[in-house]
């Protein structure tokens, strides 16, 4: 009887010591004193304490020790799903994608109705560029929980990126039915229409983003372009001016303003802003030079237009269309037929594979100029 009583006391005091160690460790952990908390958890030595040690190593960024601790826990407790789930997320965070897939596949194979397991499985497949398996996992998460916003977003984002608007909207609209002011979903919906060229339908969603405080440059940029393509020049101009408030978007804003003014036949303003956009750019700008070429031509400035198109062509010699414009303008500007002939001949020599209809047009013009030269010499 005495031995039993002593044994009872030993068990009681050991349990009390463990409880005391855990209590101290928990307090240290809550205060962010993770190193000291790890030492106290080690004194307790039970499953909960081991899990907290793994978490503490994770928090302080000692991922190798955290992974080792989680692995040790699972060796002793293979059905400890919480530890396996946390280990899977840590492996995903540290880009150990193969081991992460192993852990999440074990969790999803357990037949538990937990959409989070499938969501993180999908995230991991995304990371290894396996879109089919990623989408299958996200769809499984949505099947378990139709309001699982992160999986709905992942699916919507994928289909927006693939420019498959109808499929994207299926998942985006499901998310918005439950979270109508979710800015990420609203942005996806705006982009689904934008990428599909449905600018009028995109406008209210970009406007809604601004109403919700998403005053970011890309929202102003895309909204301005939508207004422009929807024949709303005043709103386009106003929005491009707002975009110009962002220093790193000045070139884009000025180019947009130039485009709107050009379409409105306000050529001086168009020229001003396109030139400003060129000043702001630190890269190549063949399109801007081509735009200035069009403006100069409309203003009757043939030589200036030719110079701009030639600069556009020099910036990007893969695009034969700008040099074709140089040929046409040279044909108008130079009186000497041999000079004009040389431009067209150079075009065919540099670009023997230009589109057939253009090649025929150039060949015809070459024949006409040669005939002109022939008659002039007789």
Q: Domain residue spans in the chain?
A: 1-78
Number of residues that make up the chain: 378
* Cα–Cα distance, 145 to 154 (Å, whole number): 14
Q: What would the two tokens of residue 154 be?
A: 């992942």
Q: What are phi and psi of 264, to 5 degrees?
A: -85, 5
* Cα–Cα distance, 270 to 263 (Å, whole number): 9
Domain 1-78, CATH 3.40.50.300 — does that match? no
Closest alpha carbon to 244 in 228, 230, 255, 232: 255
Would you say 197 and 221 are in contact if contact means Cβ atoms under 8 Å apart? no
Q: What would the two tokens of residue 213 be?
A: 């405080």
Q: Which residues of the chain have pLDDT under 50?
A: 2-17
pTM of the model: 0.72
* Angle separating helix axes 286-298 and 320-333, nearest 10 degrees: 30
* Cα–Cα distance, 115 to 5 (Å, whole number): 50
Would you say 280 and 250 are in contact if contact means Cβ atoms under 8 Å apart? yes
Dihedral sign computed on CA atoms, order 264, 265, 266, 269: positive
**Radius of gyration of the chain, Cα coordinates, nearest whole angstrom:** 34
Alpha helices in 145-249 (DSSP H): 149-161, 165-178, 183-195, 199-211, 217-229, 233-243
* Cα–Cα distance, 278 to 282 (Å, whole number): 8
pLDDT at 28: 87
Dmax over Cα atoms in the chain, in whole Å? Answer: 138
The CA dihedral of 296, 299, 300, 302, to the nearest 10 degrees, is 0
């Amino acid at each position: 009887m005495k031995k039993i009583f002593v044994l009872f006391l030993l068990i009681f005091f050991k349990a009390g010591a463990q409880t005391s160690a855990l209590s101290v460790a928990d307090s240290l952990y809550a205060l962010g004193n993770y190193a000291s908390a790890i030492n106290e958890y080690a004194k307790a030595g039970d499953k909960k304490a081991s899990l907290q040690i793994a978490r503490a190593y994770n928090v302080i960024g000692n991922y190798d020790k955290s992974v080792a601790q989680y692995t040790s826990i699972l060796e002793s407790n293979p059905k400890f799903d919480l530890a396996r789930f946390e280990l899977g997320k840590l492996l995903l965070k540290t880009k150990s994608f193969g081991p992460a897939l192993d852990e999440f596949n074990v969790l999803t194979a357990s037949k538990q109705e937990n959409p989070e397991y499938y969501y993180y499985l999908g995230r991991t497949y995304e990371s290894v560029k396996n879109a089919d398996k990623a989408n299958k996992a996200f769809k499984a998460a949505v099947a378990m929980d139709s309001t699982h916003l992160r999986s709905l977003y992942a699916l919507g984002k994928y289909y927006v990126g693939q420019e498959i608007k109808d499929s994207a909207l299926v998942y985006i609209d499901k998310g918005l039915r439950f979270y109508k002011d979710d800015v990420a979903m609203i942005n996806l919906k705006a982009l689904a229409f934008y990428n599909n060229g449905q600018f009028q339908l995109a406008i209210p969603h970009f406007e809604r983003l601004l109403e919700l405080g998403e005053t970011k440059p890309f929202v102003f940029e895309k909204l301005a372009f939508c207004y422009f393509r929807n024949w709303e020049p005043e709103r386009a101009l106003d929005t491009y001016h707002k975009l110009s408030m962002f220093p790193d978007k000045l070139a884009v804003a000025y180019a947009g303003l130039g485009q709107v003014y050009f379409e409105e036949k306000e050529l001086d303003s168009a020229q001003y802003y396109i030139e400003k956009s060129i000043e702001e750019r630190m890269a190549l700008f063949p399109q801007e030079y081509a735009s200035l070429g069009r403006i100069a031509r409309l203003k009757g400035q043939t030589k200036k237009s030719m110079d701009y198109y030639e600069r556009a062509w020099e910036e990007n010699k893969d695009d034969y269309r700008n040099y074709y414009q140089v040929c046409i303008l040279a044909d108008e500007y130079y009186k000497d037929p041999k000079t004009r002939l040389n431009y067209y001949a150079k075009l065919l020599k540099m670009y023997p594979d230009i589109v057939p209809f253009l090649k025929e047009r150039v060949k015809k013009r070459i024949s006409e100029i040669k005939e002109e030269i022939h008659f002039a010499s007789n």
